[in-house]
Structure 1
Amino acid sequence: MRTIGITGHQGLPEAVAAEVDARIRRRLNEPVLGVSCLADGADQIFARAVLDAGGRITVIVPADQYRDGLAEHARPGYDQLLARADSIHQLHHVESTEQSHLDASAEMLDRVDELWAVWDGQPARGYGGTADVVALARERGLPVTVFWPDGASRDR
C-alpha cells in the first residue's frame, strides 16, 4: 500500500477547498495509507478523502496542546478523524509551536513514500509552513505532487 503524506494551507476559501478536495479524490485511484497532522484545511480534506477511498490514516500529533491551537471550527473534524486513525504518534512537545509543527512534518516525511502538497507556490508565512515542508521533502528526494487551482488565492 502506498504511503502518502500531506502538507498544505489552512483556512482555505470555500471554493478553493472544494476544488482541492475534488482533485485529491480524483487522484486517489486506490486505497492508500495517509499520514497527516489533521490540521485545518488541506490535512483534513486529505484525510477524509483517503478514508472515503477505503484507505487508512496515521496521525502525527505535534504536541500535547495541539488540538487547543487549532481553529475552533476545525476541532470537531480533528476529533472525528483522530477517532478513525489506524495509528496515532504523539511527539514529546507540550506546546503547539512552529517548531513542534515542523518536527511533526519531519516525522511524517520519515514515514511516507511521497508528499502531496496543497500549496500556492509562495514562501511559508511562518517557520515550518507548507513551503518549508515541500523543500524538506525535496531535499530528501521524496516525490512531491502539488494541488493548487490555477488563479486561486489563499486570501479571501
Structure 2
Amino acid sequence: MVRIAVSGHRGLPEETAALIDGAVREALAEYLPGVTGLSCLADGADQVFARAVLDLGGVLEVVVPAKEYREGLPGECHAAYDELLGRAVRTHRLEFVESTSESHMAASARMLDDADVLFAVWDGQPARGYGGTADVVAEARQREVPVRVIWPDGAQRG
C-alpha cells in the first residue's frame, strides 16, 4: 500500500479548490488501489486531499500538530476537520500545545517519516512563513522522498 503525504496551500478560492480536487483525484488514481493518505487536515489542500483519498477507497491517517491545532483553523472548516478526523484509521498526535509554525513543520516531518511520496499542492513560490509548503518540499527532497507537485492551470493562491 503506497503512503502519500500532502502539503499544500490553505485559504484556497472556491474555484481553485475545485481545480485542485480534480487534479488530486487524477493523481491519486495512478496509485489505486491501496492508498493511505497522510494529512494534518488543515483547511485547503489538506482537506481536499483527505476527502479524495477516502472517496476513492483509500484510508486516512492524520497527524495532529498540537493540542490547540483545531482551534487555530478557520471556524468554517471545523465541521470538515471533525468529520475527516473521525474517519481516520489512525491518528498521530504531537506533544505541542500551541499551534505554531514549528508544530506544523514538525507534523509535516512526521508525515514524511512514513511517506513513500509527497503530494505538494503548491504554486512553486516561497513559503509565506516557516513550515509552509515550500519548506515541506525542501525537507522531502533532502530526505529523497519523491515530490509530486500539483498545481493545475488556472489555480490561484488565496
The reply to whether TM is greater than 0.5 is yes
SS in 1 for 2:130: coil
Distance in 2, matches of 1:52 and 1:59, equals 16
Matched residue, 2:27: 27
Q: State the AA in 2 paired with 1:78.
A: Y
Q: In structure 2, list runs of 5 or more residues that go unmatched.
A: none
Matched residue, 1:9: 9
CA RMSD of aligned residues (A): 0.8
Matched residue, 1:80: 83
State the 1:152 CA deviation. Answer: 2.9
Distance in 1, matches of 2:155 and 2:87, equals 31
Matched residue, 2:121: 118
**Does the Cα contact within 8 Å between 2:19 and 2:155 map onto a contact in 1?**
no
Aligned ranges for residues 108-147 of structure 1 at < 5 Å? 108-147=111-150
Distance in 2, matches of 1:150 and 1:84, equals 31
CA deviations over 1:57-89 (Å, ceiling 9, x no partner): 000000000000001111111000000000001
Residue range with higher mean Cα deviation, 78-87 or 19-28: 19-28
Distance in 1, matches of 2:75 and 2:36, equals 27
Matched residue, 1:18: 18
Q: In structure 1, list runs of 5 or more residues that go unmatched.
A: none
Q: State the AA in 1 paired with 2:4.
A: I
SS in 1 for 2:17: helix
State the 1:153 CA deviation. Answer: 2.2
Q: State the AA in 1 paired with 2:149.
A: V
Q: TM-score, normalised on structure 1?
A: 0.97
State the 1:26 CA deviation. Answer: 1.5
Q: State the AA in 1 paired with 2:110.
A: E
Q: TM-score, normalised on structure 2?
A: 0.96
State the 1:16 CA deviation. Answer: 0.9
SS in 2 for 1:28: helix
Distance in 2, matches of 1:122 and 1:139, equals 18
State the 1:149 CA deviation. Answer: 1.9
SS in 2 for 1:77: helix
State the 1:27 CA deviation. Answer: 1.8
Q: State the AA in 1 paired with 2:10.
A: Q
Give the number of aligned pairs.
155
1:91 aligns with 2:123: no
1:59 aligns with 2:55: no
Give % identity: 61
Distance in 2, matches of 1:32 and 1:151, equals 27
1:46 aligns with 2:33: no
